[in-house]
Structure 1
């Protein structure tokens, strides 16, 4: 269905960020205009990101500075999703946390007690100051019975210098050492997607997920039972997306050719 305009009314939209709304520090103009239309038509939308390092309010400010309408409560990160996941599973949980401010703050706000010795959970997110001692403490805790949680499985992160190790690469050190696979929170897994559905208050079949990366965004929507809209402004090309065994519901060059019904 590549290049077709929308022929269905969706009650809500889930929107990826990097590669869909902006590229690094550069906004994608067509995307900003698209989100403004959603706001004008009062169609609920939620930004979802595998980035665990930023706070939702930081993401909201970044988008606002790019001319994209966004409030803090319209941002769901893997950090906030991970914190919600463990607090919904256990009362007053304790956790050993590897990550940056976004994850540390989300865990703290959720009332999770940070603890290195005998924690209930080990949670790992992207940490650009990772050390052997942090990984060793995590491995010891997992071997001791702590439930192992990882914000996302992204193996590599794009940068100006090329692809750098992502959180999935850091997570693999713990899983290889302990023989324990983590519960992954972010796209394309279902944990964060279910939370997103609950926030939007619509059924999966009434939601359209918009993203550029087939292996995270589009696959997440497919697994969650949503229609998917692939935009050719980021990681996966339209040709690559169309060649997948389950292609996206729609594929467009950019959001400028997508009509909101």
Structure 2
């Protein structure tokens, strides 16, 4: 029987780019996947940007990734809510990446008796909006958050991100959110469904054990940990689970994408 074609899911920051600079080998890997017709998606927990915005940002680093090959926690959240309650309503704290994704699945954005409070990432968290979210949750709105990342990077240092603000709202409202993005394997499942791929022939490439590798593992995927982002050589040893393979960077996969495990 012919060997199955691998499907590639890969994190963006720390795998393909680092602080908006191309990671060596990333362009060659994507060119090889595209040239051989290998299915792939670039995944990110970042809910700020639309796929179109992210494509433009990646182009500036030298990476040409089609919009349809980018899957964000905002898109996964919209897909989840559309499956759960089609045509519903939500009070949203977030940017265009999240509001556009919800609009595209037919959701109404409102602050009057919404079905959900949906929290995403933004650089301008408003005390007024956070207070409104807390009160709506107290009144019965269900609490959803795009991802649990507590901080995000900036040139000046860490920024509070979705997970931190979710903790504030949880503490004040007494209701915990449901996080859709990594490490929830739902993010992987929605990506697989997007590609029509099977978990047994899909691998996840990431730079974090606690999100990328964990979510890949729990979704039944093969996992590859790279050393170009958060993780160091001994990182995997500190966790009770292991990736399928550890490599220095995605450059190690160039020329062998049809047989990533030898």
Q: TM-score, normalised by structure 1?
A: 0.93
Distance 1:167 1:159, change over 3 A: same
Q: Cα distance, 1:200 vs. partner?
A: 1.8
| CA drift at 1:9 | 6.1
Q: Do residues 109 (structure 1) and 104 (structure 2) align?
A: yes
Per the alignment, residue 226 of structure 1 pairs with 221
1:80 matched to 2:75? The reply is: yes
- Show the counterpart of 1:4: none
Query: Does residue 1:42 correspond to 2:37, yes or no?
Result: yes
Aligned: 1:66 with 2:61: yes
Say which of 205, 217, 222 aligns to 2:212: 217
Aligned-pair CA distance for 1:56: 0.6
Given that residues 124 and 150 in structure 1 are in contact (C-alpha distance below 8 angstroms), is that contact kept between their aligned partners in structure 2? Answer: yes
- CA separation in 2, counterparts of 1:120 and 1:135? 17
The answer to whether the 8 A contact 2:78-2:105 is kept is yes
Q: Distance in 2 between matches of 1:242 and 1:157?
A: 25
1:1-261 equivalences under 5 Å are 10-258=5-253, 259-261=256-258
Structure 2 CA distance, aligned partners of 1:197 and 1:59?
Answer: 20
What are the Cα deviations for residues 179-235 of structure 1, in whole angstroms up to 9, with x where unaligned?
111110110102221110101212112101001111111111011111101110001
Aligned to 1:3: none
Post-superposition CA distance 1:36-80 (Å, at most 9, x none): 111111110001100000011111222234332321111111111
- Structure 2, gaps ≥5 residues long: none
Query: What value does the CA root-mean-square deviation take over the aligned residues?
Result: 1.4
CA pair 131-65 structure 1, distance change in 2 beyond 3 A = closer
Question: 149-158 or 100-109: which moved more?
Answer: 100-109
Q: Cα deviation per residue 1:88-143 (whole Å; 9 max; x = unaligned)?
A: 11132010000011111111222111111210000000122112210111111111
Moved more, 14-23 or 69-78: 69-78
Distance 1:9 1:65, change over 3 A: farther
Secondary structure at the residue paired with 2:53? helix
Partner Cα separation in structure 1 for residue 100 and residue 34 of structure 2: 29
Q: Report which structure shows greater RCO (CA 8 Å, sep ≥6).
A: 1
CA contact (8 A) 2:88 2:115 kept: yes
**How far off its partner does 1:243 sit?**
3.6
| Alpha-carbon separation, structure 2, partners of 1:160 and 1:66 | 17
Tell me, in whole angstroms, the C-alpha distance in 2 between the residues paired with 1:131 and 1:42: 44
Name the TM-score, length of structure 2 as normaliser.
Answer: 0.93
Secondary structure at 2:158 match in 1:
strand
